Structure 1
Amino acid sequence: MGTNLNIDETKKLIHQLVSIPSPSGFTDKVIQFVDDYLKQLNVETKRNNKGGLIATIPGTNEEEHRMLTAHVDTLGAMVKEVKDNGRLRLDLIGGFNYNSIEGEYCEIHTASGKVYTGTILMHQTSVHVYKDAGTAKRNQDNMEVRIDAEVNNAEEVRQLGIEVGDFVTFDPRVQITANGFIKSRHLDDKASVAILLQLIKRIKEEGISLPYTTHFLISNNEEIGYGGNSNIPPETVEYVAVDMGAIGDGQSTDEYTVSICVKDASGPYHYGLRKHFVSIAEQNNISYKLDIYPYYGSDASAAIRSGHDIVHGLIGPGIDSSHAFERTHEKALIHTEQLLYYYIQSEMVI
């Protein structure tokens, strides 16, 4: 494998990234964090009108470009209703289930900049009061936010400055264990953002001359379907989304390898690029798994749907319990970064 791989710094970056609230639509702070990191490396960056960040490293071939993307936007919620009982009804941002946030600590971000803490609970939480506490449906009607403030009605909540449309973010509860596990919400896809930042740092520190001009899109609308569908330079030939590998029954992906997606809900990924990833992995002793994600779409598939004439691929670290209480292992981070390290120095597949 390549040298100068600092997995401790990658894990530190993940910890920093997941600790910055950034549901889709509320990503300015985390984008600024990434921009500041890249500017310290003297990497050229620019913002697109959607708020995403594009970093560019010139290569020997300026006529054919590559683009890699990972997204900093996460799951979250908005205040749907200020309820008469002084609690909040939510509307979800991104594709996940209410049961995955039951009991979670959260923050309510007001338009004025004030932040209040709270807890997401069933209305029928107390087993001493509600006979159906265990059987009632976990849905928008029954789930609510208990605000950590002395409020008993909607008027008192509004006096705090809380209103419909305020963003609600979830406590990531990040933990990094001594034996290499990383447990946190929002590893999708901040683990991959950290990997790309480390990759860019290696390029700069090692003075690597890339064969093709390479762009890195840090997208901020992937969870709602269109983060990577624009701002793709016309010279781009290969476009690779770096996102999580989903784990579950029938899947081959695990927490210790890089997952190479062959197909998701959008259809097959480019066959030649997939074989190229496999060849690189086998030549460099990189552990990988091929997999199909049946209920999944990426920024690469969004780019294809929007009409770009590109070769598209999807790889990423295997992550357990996606869109819930996520976990991965440093081995998956290492193998993903190594595959990308050799990929960006390789020749294109067409």
Structure 2
Amino acid sequence: MITIDTEYLKTTLLKLLDIPSPTGYTDEIVHAVGRELERMGVPFELTRRGAIRATLKGAQPKLDRAIVSHLDTLGAMVRELKPNGRLGIMMIGHWSARFAEGARVTIFTDKRSFRGTIQPLKASGHVYNDEIDTQPVSWDNLEVRIDEKLSTREDLEALGFNVGDFIAVDSSPELTSSGFIKARHLDNKAGVACQLTTIKAIVDAGITLPVTCHPLFTISEEEGTGASSILHGDVAAMVAIDNSTVAPGQNSREDSVTIAMRDQGAIYDYHLTHRLISLCEDNAIPYVRDVFRHYRSDAASALSAGNDIRTGLICFGLDASHGHERTHIDSLIAISRLLCAYLQSTPRIKHDSNKLGPLEGFPMLSVNKKTR
């Protein structure tokens, strides 16, 4: 019987949140996840840039599945060494400068790292009075105050700072007694933790899956490429794990699975999506459906790259995505349960074993005929 190790899920999430991994600076977290897969005895391979493709061997050839989450997070990059000894910055990923203000950060130069804080240009009411409230929200109006004795551009150069240095934002996690988890970068380290927890559950149970599954861990989702080049040729279906947007006008919840019907990058496969819905209903896994207008996932990147696969997207509920994020442990447990149920289920569309095939065996959507 499959058991979800909740303590492993929490501990793994906290470990992942402690590793800086803005897009483009992901080597450390790739090594960390690789070591964890090695510890569990799960074989894997790396692409040239560090995306991970693991393998859970199944009983049936072809009809492989993939599940995917991304290791990279939001962050920033140095764009200017300023005359005042501070750093001008630009975003990595897509997030508002509003949520960067006050963030504590680590700056990685070519030879060492430094600590600092992202500040608005007008940071003190004692100096600027009401101007601190009228300064526009813009990355051009932010700078990094470094925790060193610096007052000139020459001071920055002497310590080895350069344009293009990476900046990682502290996650500052907190787990509440009511089960909420608050941190930056829950997108998508919570998804990675769910994926690793699912792998552990299957390995610990000694289950042979009906078909081979490839757990994928990508490194550039926040910049839009994601799972565009890591898929195995026999993969017929892929389920991405990411966050859903809990907000007015959305249907997502912080304590459930959200099954995405579409986002701005993809309309998700009808048959796969409804199979996931059925698995939730059959296993009493709480779920809702939602659509996302300003969002794209690893699965959307795979489709954009020309991969002919069925795709789905399941999400943990996330309040204030790309800001001061919050989810609930119940949502992460539900995601892990759904992944376990999906990987143990037998594929129904045998036609998918062919990259190209006849009409026979191709599924037909069932609809109710209108009565006249």
- Structure 1 and Structure 2 fold alike (TM over 0.5): yes
Unaligned runs of 5+ in 2: 350-372
- Say if 2:317 is the partner of 1:318: yes
Question: What residue number does 2:277 align with?
Answer: 278
Residue 119 (structure 1) aligns with: 117
CA contact (8 A) 2:2 2:205 kept: no
User: Does residue 20 of the first structure (1) align with residue 53 of the second (2)?
Assistant: no
**After the TM superposition, which residues 51-66 of structure 1 pair with which residues of structure 2 at under 5 Å, given as runs?**
51-66=50-65
Q: Tell me the secondary structure at the aligned position of residue 209 of structure 2.
A: coil
In the alignment, does 2:9 pair up with 1:10? yes
Code of the residue aligned with 1:240 in structure 2: it is V
Q: Provide, for residues 247-288 of structure 1, a one-character-per-residue CA deviation record: whole Å limited to 9, x for no partner.
A: 111111111001100010023210111110111000110000
Aligned runs of 1:228-239 on 2, under 5 Å? 228-239=227-238
Distance in 1 between residues matched to 2:140 and 2:251, nearest whole Å: 37
Conserved? CA contact 1:43–1:55, under 8 Å = yes
Q: Secondary structure at the match of 2:134?
A: coil
Alpha-carbon distance, 1:141 to partner: 2.1
The Cα shift of 1:140 comes to 2.4
User: CA–CA distance in 2 between the matches of 1:194 and 1:18?
Assistant: 10
Aligned mates of 1:151, 1:343 — CA distance in 2: 55
Counterpart of 1:189?
Answer: 188
Q: Distance in 2 between matches of 1:78 and 1:234?
A: 35
Q: How far off its partner does 1:3 sit?
A: 4.4
Separation in structure 2 between the aligned mates of residue 44 and residue 151 of structure 1, nearest angstrom: 48
Please state whether the residue corresponding to 1:252 is helix, strand or coil. coil
Contact 2:266 2:303 in 1 (8 A): no
Asked if the contact 2:63–2:347 (Cα under 8 Å) also holds between the matched residues in 1, the reply is: no
Q: Deviations over 1:122-161 (max 9, x none)?
A: 1111112114111101212211000000000010011111
2:266 and 2:296 in contact (8 A); partners too: no
TM-score after normalising by structure 1:
0.98
| Superposition map of 1:119-158 within 5 A | 119-131=117-129, 132-158=131-157
The amino acid that maps onto 2:116 is G
Percent sequence identity over aligned pairs = 39
For residues 99 and 82 of structure 1, what CA distance do their matches in structure 2 show?
Answer: 22
Stretches (4+) displaced over 3 A:
none
> CA 1:3/1:346 → structure 2, altered by over 3 Å: closer, same or farther?
closer
Aligned counterpart, 1:169: 168
Taking the aligned partners of 1:194 and 1:334, their CA distance within structure 2 comes to 10
What count of residue pairs does the alignment treat as equivalent?
Answer: 348
Per-residue CA deviation, residues 20-73 of structure 1 (Å, 9 max, x unaligned), is 000000000001000000001111011111211111111111222001100010
Letter in 1 for 2:126: H
Distance 2:266 2:65 in 1: 21
- What's the C-alpha RMSD, in Å, of the aligned pairs? 1.0
In structure 1, what is the Cα distance between the partners aligned to 2:79 and 2:304?
31
Q: Are 2:88 and 1:89 aligned?
A: yes
Larger radius of gyration: 2
User: Which structure 1 residue ranges, 5 or more long, are not aligned?
Assistant: none
Provide, for residues 203-254 of structure 1, a one-character-per-residue CA deviation record: whole Å limited to 9, x for no partner.
1110111111110111000000112011211111001111111111111111
Aligned counterparts of 2:29 and 2:116: Cα–Cα separation in 1: 22
Instruction: Give SS of 2:281's match.
Output: helix
CA distance in 1 between partners of 2:4 and 2:42 (Å): 19
Task: Give me the whole-angstrom Cα distance separating, in 2, the residues matched to 1:349 and 1:91.
Answer: 47
Structure 1 position 349, deviation (Å): 4.3
* Amino acid in the other structure paired with 1:335: A
Letter in 1 for 2:51: G
Contact 1:99 1:138 in 2 (8 A): yes
Is this contact kept in 2: 1:100–1:324, CA < 8 A?
yes
